[in-house]
């Protein structure tokens, strides 16, 4: 097995131990059932796997120790393990990552009301799921995912409204595409108190999954990522305590920007895991199947070896790129505050590049495996179907490239 020295270079021993623990879980628990996940209509297999990862301590790990967590918010610590999970099934990795993702702003801001309420729930033994709601349906005046996640729009296209009513926030609006929507126990809603205020109007507000006025549409039927449930979320006069807002005017926007950066780094890690799984699959297939007059395995023919080399080059460079981004995120004193344009730019480099690599690797692997790659039993087609959406979410590949440029020059809207 090729040794990925980048992990040993910048990870702590406990990070490496967690990665090995997760790798064993993936091999023993996810790989045997990964082909059944697409037909898991009631999400039973997915919940069992997520419960297994929760038992390892993955969900409670990010919470402060006072709630039973281990205060593990390092991007360097989380990245390699997310990559491993995605090697087994990137939908499982998404469902797990998007349970952690909504709580990062509350942890960064030390939002006591939020953490006191949700911390004990999510640090318990029973599996709990989180959801971060950004994207909206949009319309003639905009408001879609790209506009909300575009820092240049400064939240002016957010239509989900938060109105302070005494000691409570009243929320009204509609969200789409959020991972874990419809099955989560906690939701972080990206809202606005007044879109005319721009960033000052952005409000990040937590909503319990059983809140009155919260309802959902049907689950989307997608090409891949079956473990990642998505539906339309409706907020009709949903009331939550005033303290369930992350911080306040201006600060919430900064935490939203930071969450975009950490989300793109996680997306890069999951893309690499997906590509790694596809590469291991095609490497095994091409080593065992003989073609041509020479009687050589497929991978010993020069044209095929060149294709495999390009896959390996892409995977290794994408891994180094996202781990570099993780290190930068963990060291804001040297590389800029976690909400800075510099951090978002590099995280976007990692995400855009790794997602492109995953799409390229799975496409090339399909070419090498031919019809065998196209059938479920041979494992590859699931990687092929699953990885495409990573390239499209969080504003898509084009917005990601815009955000790369923002650190280098003033890019107009």
pLDDT digit string, tens, across residues 30-80: 999 999 999 998 999 999 999 999 999 889 999 999 999 989 999 999 999
Q: What is the CATH number of the domain that holds 333?
A: 1.20.140.10
Which tokens go with 159? 């239509």
- Which pLDDT belongs to residue 413? 66
- 259 and 400 belong to one structural domain: yes
- 243 and 98 belong to one structural domain: no
- Block means of pLDDT (10 residues each) for the chain, length 413 residues? 76 92 97 95 95 93 94 94 97 97 98 98 96 86 73 91 97 96 98 96 98 97 96 98 98 98 98 98 94 87 96 97 98 97 97 98 97 94 97 92 94 75
**Inter-residue contact 191 to 203 (CB < 8 Å):** yes
Of 248, 274, 290, which marks where a domain is finished? 248
- 210 and 145 belong to one structural domain: yes
**Which residues on neighbouring strands pair with residue 219, listed in sequence order?**
none
**Inter-residue contact 192 to 155 (CB < 8 Å):** yes
- 325 and 239 belong to one structural domain: no
- 94 and 216 belong to one structural domain: no
pLDDT digit string, tens, across residues 282-326: 999 999 988 877 789 999 999 999 999 999 999 999 999 999 999
Show the domain range for 102. Answer: 5-122
Q: Is 291 helix (H, G, I), strand (E, B) or coil?
A: strand
- Which pLDDT belongs to residue 3? 59
- Which pLDDT belongs to residue 344? 97
Let me know if residue 268 belongs to a domain.
yes
**Residue 89 neighbours by CB under 8 Å, 6+ apart:** 30, 34, 37, 49, 227, 382, 386
**H or E segment to which residue 69 belongs:** none
- Which pLDDT belongs to residue 310? 98
Count of other CB atoms within 10 angstroms of residue 1? 4
- 196 and 219 belong to one structural domain: yes
Which tokens go with 118? 């949700």
Residue identified by tokens 């990601």 is 400
- Which pLDDT belongs to residue 251? 98
Let me know if residue 413 belongs to a domain.
no
**Inter-residue contact 386 to 91 (CB < 8 Å):** yes
CA 243, 118, 64: angle at the middle one, nearest 5?
Answer: 100
In Å, how far are 172, 312, 341 from 276, measured between CA atoms? 42, 9, 30
Q: Is 111 helix (H, G, I), strand (E, B) or coil?
A: coil
Of 214, 248, 282, which marks where a domain is finished? 248
Q: What is d(CA 242, CA 164) in angstroms, rounded to the nearest whole number? A: 7
Report the predicted TM-score, pTM, of the whole model to 2 decimal places: 0.96
**Which residues on neighbouring strands pair with residue 214, listed in sequence order?**
235
- 257 and 244 belong to one structural domain: no
Let me know if residue 411 belongs to a domain.
no
**Residue 40 neighbours by CB under 8 Å, 6+ apart:** 46, 226, 227
Which tokens go with 29? 């628990």
Of 248, 271, 303, which marks where a domain is finished? 248
The alpha carbon of residue 160 and the mean position of all alpha carbons in its chain are separated, in whole angstroms, by 22
In Å, how far are 95, 263, 272, 322 from 33, measured between CA atoms? 16, 27, 21, 28
Q: What is the CATH number of the domain that holds 82?
A: 1.10.540.10
Q: What is the CATH number of the domain that holds 212?
A: 2.40.110.10
- 243 and 302 belong to one structural domain: no
Let me know if residue 304 belongs to a domain.
yes
- Which pLDDT belongs to residue 152? 87
- 273 and 371 belong to one structural domain: yes
Which tokens go with 126? 């029973």
Give the pairing of strands 214-216 and 202-208.
Answer: unpaired
- 258 and 368 belong to one structural domain: yes
Let me know if residue 286 belongs to a domain.
yes
- Domains held by the chain: number: 3
Closest CA to 6 of 262, 318, 261: 318
Let me know if residue 412 belongs to a domain.
no
The alpha carbon of residue 69 and the mean position of all alpha carbons in its chain are separated, in whole angstroms, by 21
Q: What is d(CA 205, CA 202) in angstroms, rounded to the nearest whole number? A: 10
- 203 and 260 belong to one structural domain: no
- 300 and 387 belong to one structural domain: yes
Closest CA to 278 of 134, 88, 11, 40: 88
Which tokens go with 30? 């996810």
Let me know if residue 410 belongs to a domain.
no
Let me know if residue 271 belongs to a domain.
yes
- Which pLDDT belongs to residue 144? 66
**Residue 276 neighbours by CB under 8 Å, 6+ apart:** 83, 87, 315
Give the pairing of strands 202-208 and 130-133.
Answer: unpaired
Burial class (CB in 10 A: 0-12, 13-18, 19+), 219: middle
């Amino acid at each position: 097995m090729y040794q990925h020295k980048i992990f040993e270079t910048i990870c702590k021993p406990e990070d490496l131990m967690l990665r090995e623990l997760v790798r064993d879980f993936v091999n023993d628990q996810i790989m045997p059932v990964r082909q059944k996940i697409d037909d898991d209509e009631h999400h039973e297999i997915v919940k069992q796997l997520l419960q297994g990862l929760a038992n390892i301590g993955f969900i409670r790990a990010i919470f402060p120790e006072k709630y039973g967590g281990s205060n593990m918010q390092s991007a360097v610590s989380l990245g390699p393990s997310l990559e491993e999970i995605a090697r087994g099934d990137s939908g499982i990795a998404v469902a797990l990552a998007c349970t952690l993702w909504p709580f990062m702003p509350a942890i960064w801001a030390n939002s006591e009301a939020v953490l006191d309420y949700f911390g004990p729930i999510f640090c318990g033994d029973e599996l709990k799921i989180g959801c971060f709601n950004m994207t909206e349906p949009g319309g003639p005046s905009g408001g879609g995912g790209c506009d909300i996640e575009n820092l240049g729009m400064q939240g002016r296209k957010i239509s989900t409204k938060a109105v302070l009513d005494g000691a409570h926030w009243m929320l009204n609006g509609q969200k789409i595409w959020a991972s874990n929507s419809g099955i989560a126990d906690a939701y972080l809603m990206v809202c606005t108190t007044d879109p005319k205020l721009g960033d000052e109007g952005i409000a990040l507000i937590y909503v319990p999954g059983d809140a009155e006025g919260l309802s959902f549409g049907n689950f989307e039927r997608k090409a891949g990522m079956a473990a990642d449930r998505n539906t339309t979320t409706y907020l009709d006069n949903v009331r939550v305590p005033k303290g369930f807002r992350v911080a306040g005017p201006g600060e919430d926007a900064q935490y939203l920007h930071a969450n975009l950066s950490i989300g793109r780094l996680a997306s890069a890690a999951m893309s690499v895991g997906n590509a790694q799984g596809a590469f291991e699959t095609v490497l095994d297939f091409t080593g065992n199947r003989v073609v041509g007059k020479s009687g050589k395995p497929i991978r010993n023919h020069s044209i095929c070896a060149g294709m495999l080399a390009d896959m390996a080059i892409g995977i290794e460079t994408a891994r180094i790129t996202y781990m570099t981004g993780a290190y930068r995120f963990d060291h804001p004193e040297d590389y800029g505050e976690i909400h800075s344009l510099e951090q978002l730019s590099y995280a976007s480099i990692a995400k855009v590049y790794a997602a492109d690599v995953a799409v390229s690797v799975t496409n090339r692997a399909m070419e090498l495996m031919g019809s065998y790659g196209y059938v479920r039993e041979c494992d590859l087609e699931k990687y092929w179907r699953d990885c495409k959406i990573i390239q499209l979410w969080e504003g898509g590949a084009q917005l990601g490239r815009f955000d790369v440029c923002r650190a280098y020059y003033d890019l107009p809207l």
